[in-house]
Amino acid sequence: MCVTHAFSVDSNELLQQEWEVFKLQHNKNYEESEDEKRLQIFIKNKIYIAKHNQLYEKGERSYSLEMNRFGDWTDEEIDERLYGYYDIKRHFKKTKGTPYTPPANYRPPSRMDWRRLGAVTAVQDQTPCGCCWAFSAIGALEGQLYQAQDRLVKLSEQQLVDCADEHYGNFGCRGGSPANAFDYTVEFGVETARKYQYISQQKKCDYKKKFVAVKASDYLLISPTEDNLMKTVGKFGPVSVVLDGRNADFLFYKHGVYYNPLCRNKSGLNHAALVVGYGALEVEGDYWLIKNSFGTDWGYEGYMLLARNRENNCGVATNATLPVVGARVDFIKSKY
């Protein structure tokens, strides 16, 4: 009787306590009317996550979810601050990229993790700027610079946000695409992040040629199959990809192999990321190792295991691109 009485706290009071903790944890502060609106979003997401995780515990889902700082964001804020991929016709297009299909007889390693080989920089947080496209492109460039010069250098996403602009079909924090970014890097190159630091908003272009650390000579448009993507990642390094991230499961992903049959896999993709490896788990099956740009509090310290060889889940192989650094395309082909 005493124990029951000690824990018989009204559920609304418990929710309010959780809400206050959430706001303190994520440094959020709202006026009274706005606070109530945000609380309702938080409650809806909390219920959704709890229901999903019940299915996960029963073995009916292959991945779990967790409340995070996105828990009280509106749909509009999610679109503006996280999902900034779209590919439009460029006003100017000096290069078009080179269509690329790896040799059919090439057998890539059965598993790969370019982090362990030193080709991947630390996870960052893009918000509150919808420039996932710039983070994806820079990650691929960093990997190729590592391959070409055997050194890992943090390159500047901010330069792409500021300078790879409407002229190339990108719109800073309002969106763009890795392929369009590579068009810019072929012409101008990219500075280091130390010289051109990330500030999470678009400003006037401050490009300085003398600080350029790498310049792409071309980029590859990888034939859209998972087999081709695996061969390219296995041989050459991290690859820019585009995903469908428009559902709560992606937003609140915590761990496990993410397979969502509701994911689009061809059109309507909205989030650029980076494939840095692949592998397989005994129970959950094949996966892609995805580096995201939501900070280290998301997923596996900023990474996701995305289902591989399952109907091109979330469109991972649909728009995969790889910059060419320090070599021509025919040189890359000869490396097989």
Domain spans of the chain, in order of start: 2-61, 77-334
Q: Which of 129, 131, 132, 163 is catalytic?
A: 132
pLDDT of the residue at 329? 56
pLDDT at residue 9 is higher than 60: no
pLDDT band at 89 (very low <50, low <70, confident <90, very high): low
For residues 290 and 304, the answer to whether their CB atoms sit within 8 Å is yes
pTM, full prediction: 0.93
pLDDT at residue 333 is higher than 80: no
Mean pLDDT on 32-52: 96
Give percent of the chain with pLDDT exceeding 90.
85
| Residue 271 annotated to the active site | yes
For residues 176 and 170, the answer to whether their CB atoms sit within 8 Å is yes
| Residue 105 annotated to the active site | no
Mean pLDDT on 123-139: 97
For residues 290 and 113, the answer to whether their CB atoms sit within 8 Å is no
Give percent of the chain with pLDDT exceeding 70.
92
Q: What is the pLDDT of residues 172-196, one digit of tens each?
A: 999 999 999 999 999 999 999 999 9
Mean pLDDT on 32-60: 96
pLDDT at residue 335 is higher than 80: no
Mean pLDDT on 28-32: 95
pLDDT band at 111 (very low <50, low <70, confident <90, very high): very high
Mean pLDDT on 141-159: 96
pLDDT at residue 117 is higher than 80: yes
pLDDT of the residue at 266? 86
Mean pLDDT on 60-76: 96
pLDDT of the residue at 8? 39
Identify which of 163, 157, 247, 238 has the alpha carbon closest to the alpha carbon of residue 207: 163
- Structure tokens that stand for 180 in this block: 């369009």
Omega of the bond leading into 128 within 30 degrees of 0 (cis): yes
pLDDT of the residue at 212? 96
pLDDT of the residue at 328? 54
Mean pLDDT on 206-224: 95
pLDDT at residue 286 is higher than 90: yes
Most distant CA pair in the chain, distance: 78
Q: Which of 180, 292, 312, 313 is catalytic?
A: 292
For residues 132 and 83, the answer to whether their CB atoms sit within 8 Å is yes
pLDDT of the residue at 306? 98
Q: How many CB atoms lie within 10 A of CB 104?
A: 8
Mean pLDDT on 23-33: 95
77-334 CATH pick, 3.40.50.10490, 3.90.70.10, 3.30.460.10, 3.40.50.1370: 3.90.70.10
pLDDT at residue 90 is higher than 60: no
Compute the mean pLDDT over every residue in the chain, rounded to the nearest whole number.
92
For residues 233 and 265, the answer to whether their CB atoms sit within 8 Å is no
Q: Which of 163, 271, 313, 319 is catalytic?
A: 271
pLDDT of the residue at 112? 98
